[in-house]
Amino acid sequence: MLIKRPDDIRPSEITPRSLYEDRRSFMLGAGALALAGGGVLPGAAHAQAREKIAGLRPAPAAYTLKEPLNTYEQITSYVNFYEFGTDKSDPLRNSKNFRTRPWTVVVEGEVRKPRSFGIEELLKLAPVEERIYRLRCVEAWSMVIPWAGYSLSELIKQVEPTANAKFIEFHTLADPKQMPGVKDPVLQWPYVEGLRMDEAMNPLSLLCLGLYGELLPNPNGAPVRLVVPWKYGFKSGKSIVRIRFVENMPTTAWMRSAPSEYGFYSNVNPKVDHPRWSQARERRIGEFFKRETLMFNGYADQVASLYTGMDLRKNF
């Protein structure tokens, strides 16, 4: 698989700490990041996405970390989004013409009120908040990102799941005309992820529509994605077009591709190593030294009760 190990990150890809301390300084360091990302200038590539979210409100304190934020350029130029390529810089380069309007998310399966949501409906379904969450990647790097969205439970309540709905599947768009990575058999497309119903209903699970107060940029999963902050980043499906409520645990994209490495739950657990590297420490993008990885990515107080009695080594 084409996954870069943390120790293989080149010094040129590590941005100095000073570059992310001003949360609104979008353009600081753009030149250096362009060199690290193959010569792409983030601001130029995403002129079409720089639209403010109307009515954005601050989130309650429980959803806001008091940690330095990563810059817009770091967040958009160092990305895993295999539909646009397997290199971290590919999504920025290859998604600049990705069309996100019109956009429809179909919700179906074990629900009393199946329906489709246009993206404009989703933007108005509930008050959109700025929530500052950690993102921890399975490759042992992390960021702190000011996402914009609202609890996934707001959408779930609209469709009224039946008693048979135990899990939810999330399907990403797989369009080879717009997404060059879909032509690569690195995964079986479309990309599918899933949550248990109680995980999806947890208030931390975010239906994400933007970041840094703006509509979600293309390389980060425009126009709508998940953010499940206590799980590794690949659990948070991007560019979602279908949501299915199902009775049985779904087989996700990475479970199908590499079942010995990627399980259904994928909770951040520093005590369970990936078969090819340790998960005990992580490198925050923008920092040189590694830090200790926190259980459940630091969200144990809010989510540990979901897994009472479970063997979190077996259920990785």
- CATH at 56: 3.90.420.10
Using CA atoms, how far residue 227 sits from 1, 79, 102, 146, 150, in Å, is: 24, 14, 22, 11, 10
pLDDT tens sequence across 225-262: 999 999 999 999 999 999 999 999 999 999 999 999 99
> Mind listing the pLDDT tens digit for each residue in 121-178?
999 999 999 999 999 999 999 999 999 999 999 999 999 999 999 999 999 999 999 9
Instruction: With respect to residue 287, please indicate whether it lies within any of the assigned structural domains.
Output: yes
**Alpha helices (H) in 109-196, listed in sequence order:** 119-124, 153-159
pLDDT category at 50 given cuts 50, 70, 90 is confident
Residue 194 has pLDDT above 90, yes or no: yes
C-alpha closest to that of 297 among 116, 145, 164: 145
Number of domains in the chain: 1
Q: What is the mean pLDDT of the chain?
A: 88
Tell me what the mean pLDDT of segment 68-85 comes to: 98
Name the more confident of 39 and 138.
138
Rounded to whole angstroms, how far apart are CA atoms 189 and 182? Answer: 7
Residue pair 224/210 in contact (Cβ under 8 Å)? The answer is no
Backbone angles phi, psi at 244, to 5 degrees: -120, 130
In a domain, 60, yes or no: yes
* Torsional sign, CA 198, 202, 204, 209: positive
Tell me what pLDDT residue 24 has: 34
Is 312 within the bounds of a domain? no
Note whether residue 193 is domain-resident: yes
d(CA 40, CA 34): 5
Does residue 295 sit within a domain?
yes
